[in-house]
């Protein structure tokens, strides 16, 4: 299976920090996968995701999309962000427009799409996320779960090939979590790869096709859940069994 997105020996240290966040992280991601990204706080999960669509640029190493290195120009970043969507852990970091409709429209408009195509994408993303009835609502009046769905819809309206999700399901009620995972599954059926950074070992065991484990800025495992959870060293690192 050919790689869609590759991280090759990434190194990165945040400005003002003496501790590297990534210390040679490498990972290959193919199309149509359910991937759970596990690791303790500070393992480098969020930092890796921020490199995936060029929000951060590695000090060393390379990110490749379809075997081509990311270009950190305006044109190059637009290319990758059309294909690699990132949903932040806190939806308030992602929602900034006055209404739900405006927020979901923002990405497609900035892609230079026609008004008709923007409207089609917004309607499709809102329908998939079950929020068509919220399009005229102000974003500040939404519940936490509704904000998560709007943030997700805003990314999906750009039709990414890879969806990266940073812990967005944490803190949601069971019904909302079920709804979001149903969306993820529909995307995977359409050939989209969904990579979810999470601390939820039950999700990793039951939902993911592949479990990726990070530790101290490196990827130390990438394998099917049964293999990862059968490894005593990885189990000790990840915590009590679900």
Domain CATH number, residue 127: 3.40.50.300
pLDDT score for 242:
58
Those residues with Cβ within 8 angstroms of residue 169's Cβ, 6 or more apart along the chain or in another chain: 148, 177, 180, 181, 196, 198, 200, 203
CA distances to 35, 58, 117, 199 from 203, rounded to whole Å, are: 10, 29, 35, 9
Return d(Cα 195, Cα 206) in angstroms, integer: 14
Q: pTM of the predicted model, to two decimals?
A: 0.92
pLDDT score for 62:
97
pLDDT score for 145:
86
Mean pLDDT by 10 residues, the chain (242 residues): 89 95 96 94 95 96 95 92 91 85 92 93 94 92 89 94 84 82 93 94 94 97 96 88 60
- In a 10 Å sphere around its CB, with 0-12 CB exposed, 13-18 middle and 19+ buried, how is residue 241 labelled? exposed
Query: What's the number of domains the chain is made of?
Result: 1
pLDDT score for 163:
96
pLDDT score for 170:
63
Domain boundaries, position 153: 5-238
CA angle 214, 236, 165 (to 5 degrees): 35
Decide: 105 and 114 in contact? Cβ < 8 Å.
no
């Amino acid at each position: 299976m050919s790689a869609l997105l590759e991280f090759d020996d990434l190194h990165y240290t945040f400005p003002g920090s003496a501790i590297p966040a990534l210390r040679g992280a490498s990972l290959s991601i193919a199309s149509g996968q359910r991937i759970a990204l596990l690791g303790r706080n500070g393992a480098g999960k969020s930092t890796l995701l921020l490199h995936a669509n060029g929000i951060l640029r590695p000090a060393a190493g390379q990110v490749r999309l379809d075997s081509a290195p990311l270009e950190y120009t305006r044109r190059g970043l637009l290319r990758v962000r059309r294909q690699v969507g990132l949903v932040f852990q806190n939806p308030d970091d992602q929602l900034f427009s006055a209404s739900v409709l405006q927020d979901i429209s923002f990405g497609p408009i900035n892609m230079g799409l026609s008004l008709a195509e923007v409207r089609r994408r917004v309607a499709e993303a809102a329908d998939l996320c079950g929020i068509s009835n919220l399009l005229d609502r102000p974003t500040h009046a939404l519940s936490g779960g509704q904000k998560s769905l709007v943030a997700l819809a805003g990314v999906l309206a750009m039709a990414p090939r890879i969806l990266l999700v940073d812990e967005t399901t944490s803190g949601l009620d069971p019904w909302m979590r079920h709804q979001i995972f149903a969306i993820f599954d529909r995307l995977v059926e359409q050939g989209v790869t969904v990579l979810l950074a999470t601390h939820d070992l039950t999700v990793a065991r039951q939902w993911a096709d592949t479990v990726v484990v990070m530790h101290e800025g490196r990827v130390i495992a990438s394998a099917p859940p049964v293999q990862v959870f059968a490894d005593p060293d990885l189990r000790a690192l990840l915590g009590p069994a679900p």
